[in-house]
Amino acid sequence: MNLAPIVLFTYNRPWHTAQTLRSLADNLLSNESELIIYVDGPKPNAPEDNIKNILLVRELVQKQTWCKKLTVNISTKNKGLSNSIIDGVSETLKTYDRIIVLEDDMILSPHFLEFMNEALEKYQDIENVISIHGYCLPIDYPEPVFLLKGADCWGWGTWRRGWDLFNPDSQLLMAQLKDKKLQYQFDLNGSYPYTKMLNYQIRGKVDSWAIRWHASAYLQNKLTLYPGKSLVQNIGGDGSGTHSQNEEHTKTILKTDKIILKDIPVVESCMAKKLIIERLTRNLSLKNRFIKIIRALR
C-alpha cells in the first residue's frame, strides 16, 4: 500500500500538540509513515507568553521523530492558519500524489492511519470522491462508512487530483452557489450556516480555508468518505485555538477498533445526511450556532 505523508499544522499550543503527536505515534502505521510538520511563526507584537508557547511547540515537535521519518518546517513570520494549510498542502502535493492532513488539536484512534490510507488507496481512481475524513459527528449510523457531498477539515486526506479542484476565491464560490440556487442545500437544509460563513470570509470577518474547500467540493458535486464512528476527537474547543469553538454537539467517543471498508454505492447517503441534520438541529438553534462560530473565528 502506498502510504500518504502526514502533514501536521501547529502554532502555539504545546499541550494540544503533544496529545496529537502521541496519539499519532500510537497508530499502527506510524512507524512506516512520513510526518511533515509546519510550525507557524509569531504575529507582530505578539505577547511574551505567546512567543514562549511557540518556542515550546518548536522544541516539542523536534524532540523525537514520532513516525518513521520527520521533516519540520518552521516559519519565522505568522502566515495564519488558512495560508499555512493552503501553502503546506499545495507544496506537499507537488511531490506526493496523496496526503493526510492534521491540525494540532486532534486525538486519533490507533486505527486512524489504517483507515485513511486504505480509503485513499481504494478510492484513488474514483473521480466523484474528493477526500477521506476521519471525524464523524456522533450519529447512530449502522454501517462502517458513508459518503456526503462536499469536503471537511478534522483529520482528512485527499489526492493531488482532489486538491487541484480547490478554489480559494470565496466571491466566485458564493456567486456560483447563488447562480445555482444551492444555498439552502449547501447549509444542510438550513441546519448549519455554511453560506453565512462563506459570506463572512468574503467580508474579511473570518479567514477559513475549510469553508472554501467545502464549497469547492460541493459545487463540483464531489463526495467525501466518512467513518460511521469517529476516528478523530477534537480537543480544540477549549478556546485555546485560533479558530476553536466549544460545541457540545461535536463531542464524540473514539472508535478503537478497525473499520472494515465495504463497497458502497458512490452516492451521497440520504440516511447519514438525515441523521446529521437531526443532530445539528436538535442541539442549538441556527442563530446561536452561527454566533458561536463567528466569535470563535474572529
What is the CATH T-level fold of the domain 6-297, as seen in this structure?
Spore Coat Polysaccharide Biosynthesis Protein SpsA; Chain A (3.90.550)
* Model confidence pLDDT, tens digit, residues 91-149: 999 999 999 999 999 999 999 999 999 999 999 999 999 999 999 999 999 999 999 99
C-alpha cell at 88: 503546506
The full set of domain ranges for the chain reads 6-297
- The residue with cell 463526495 is 223
CA gap 214, 206 in Å, rounded: 15
Percent of the chain whose pLDDT exceeds 90: 88
CB-based burial, 153-173: b 16+ in 10 Å, e otherwise: bbbbbbbbebbebbeeebeeb
Whether 247 shows a pLDDT value over 70: the answer reads no
The model's confidence at residue 295, banded by pLDDT at 50, 70 and 90, is: very low
- 17-43 tens-digit pLDDT: 999 999 999 999 999 999 999 999 999
What are the distances in angstroms from CA 85 to CA 27, 38, 58, 119, 165?
Answer: 23, 9, 17, 22, 15
What would the grid cell of residue 40 be? 507557524
Measured distance CA(168)–CA(205) in Å, rounded: 16
Give the confidence band of 297 by pLDDT, cuts at 50, 70, 90: very low
Contact 131, 267 (CB under 8 A): no
- What's the pTM? 0.93
